[in-house]
């Protein structure tokens, strides 16, 4: 029933559909909150409520849907935190929650989603450090965390010995600190890595060149997040001039230009030194 003009909230009697396995209501004008009675849809495998006007919190009762493999709640108006028991949804393969107003920190239990292949939490209001359980997601392939307010280091983001299928990581537009761990570039299937606009620093490690499948590397202004900018005119809001106290420094490893798979390289807005290698 996607791409219609359905309105009003989901009715509580939706629980009567206890044998249904797939619900797609994308791109309507449905509003209100998700009824807690949705937890009675014990056979549900696929749920897509994206591009609606749903609001309120994601009910913790949704984690009772232990057969659910695809949960897609993108581009709505959900608020509040992710249920702390999200890790109970053991069958989840895809969790897509981008462009809402979700807040709070990520629950540690998210690391229990052992079948999860895609996690998209981009463009929300999520905060805090990433849970150390992130690097025990064994089947994760796509990880989108951009445009939130995450902070802390990236030391527990990935484990190249455990996450053998992880190909895409985007942590741009956050406030991560510290350096980029070399373990990221030891992921055997890494193809895309973006960390644009954060509070990161350090030099480009030679370990980047061990990423044989890397196609896109985007590190523009990795120390340019607003929270770590050094304002030149603090009292004049109309003047947006600022300096960088963080960012990439040092020189570009020459091996970077010998990587056969690399198609896109973005390093602008940093403090990299040396002569141009493009002559």
pLDDT digits (tens, 9 = 90+) for 237-255: 555 544 555 678 888 888 8
Sheet of 29-32: strand order equals 7-8, 29-32, 53-54
7 vs 14, residue with greater confidence: 14
Asked if the structure places residue 38 within a domain, the reply is no
Residue in 147, 131, 21 with CA at minimum distance from that of residue 82: 131
Q: What is the pLDDT of residue 222?
A: 93
Q: What is the pLDDT of residue 2?
A: 42
Interval 219-236 mean pLDDT: 75
Q: What is the pLDDT of residue 11?
A: 61
Task: State what percent of residues in the chain have pLDDT above 90.
Answer: 68
Asked if the structure places residue 63 within a domain, the reply is no
Is the predicted pLDDT of residue 223 greater than 80, yes or no? yes
| Residue corresponding to tokens 């741009």 | 172
Asked if the structure places residue 53 within a domain, the reply is no
Asked if the structure places residue 171 within a domain, the reply is yes
Q: Assign residue 254 the CATH number of its domain.
A: 3.80.10.10
Our count of domains for the chain comes to 1
Lowest mean pLDDT among 113-117, 124-128, 193-197, 274-278: 274-278
Asked if the structure places residue 216 within a domain, the reply is yes
Asked if the structure places residue 75 within a domain, the reply is no
Sign of CA dihedral 207, 148, 215, 244: negative
Which structural domain range is residue 165 located in? 159-279
pTM over 0.85, yes/no: yes
Interval 112-132 mean pLDDT: 98
11 vs 130, residue with greater confidence: 130
- SS3 for the chain, per residue? CCCCCCEECCCHHHHHCCCCCEEECCCCEEEECCCHHHHHCCCCCEEECCCCEECCECCHHHHHCCCCCEEECCCCCCEECCCCCHHHCCCCCEEECCCCEEEECCCHHHHHCCCCCEEECCCCEEEECCCHHHHHCCCCCEEECCCCEEEECCCCCCCCCCCCCCCEEECCCCEEEECCCHHHHHCCCCCEEECCCCEEEEECCHHHHHCCCCCEEECCCCCCCHHHEEECCCCCCCCCCEEECCEEECCCCHHHHHCCCCCEEECCCCCCCCCCCCC
Asked if the structure places residue 108 within a domain, the reply is no
Asked if the structure places residue 240 within a domain, the reply is yes
Q: What is the pLDDT of residue 244?
A: 53
């Amino acid at each position: 029933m996607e791409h219609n003009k359905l309105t009003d909230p989901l009715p509580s009697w939706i629980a009567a559909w206890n044998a249904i396995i797939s619900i797609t209501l994308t791109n309507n004008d449905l509003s209100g909150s998700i009824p807690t009675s949705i937890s009675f849809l014990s056979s549900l495998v696929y749920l897509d409520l994206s591009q609606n006007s749903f609001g309120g919190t994601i009910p913790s009762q949704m984690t009772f849907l232990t057969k659910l493999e695809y949960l897609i709640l993108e581009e709505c108006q959900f608020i509040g935190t992710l249920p702390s028991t999200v890790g109970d949804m053991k069958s989840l393969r895809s969790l897509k929650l981008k462009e809402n107003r979700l807040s709070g920190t990520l629950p540690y239990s998210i690391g229990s989603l052992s079948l999860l292949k895609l996690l998209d939490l981009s463009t929300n209001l999520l905060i805090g450090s990433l849970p150390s359980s992130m690097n025990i997601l064994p089947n994760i392939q796509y990880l989108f965390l951009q445009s939130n307010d995450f902070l802390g280091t990236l030391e527990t983001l990935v484990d190249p010995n455990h996450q053998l299928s992880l190909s895409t990581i985007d942590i741009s537009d956050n406030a991560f600190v510290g350096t980029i761990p070399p373990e990221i570039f030891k992921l055997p299937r890494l193809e895309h890595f973006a960390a644009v606009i954060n509070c990161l620093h350090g030099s480009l490690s030679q370990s980047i060149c061990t990423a044989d499948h890397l196609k896109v590397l985007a590190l523009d202004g990795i120390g340019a997040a607003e929270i770590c900018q050094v304002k030149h005119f603090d009292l004049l809001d109309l003047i947006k001039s600022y300096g960088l106290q963080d960012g990439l420094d040092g020189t570009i490893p020459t091996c970077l230009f010998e990587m056969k798979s690399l198609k896109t390289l973005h390093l602008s807005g940093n403090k990299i030194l040396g002569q141009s290698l493009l002559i």
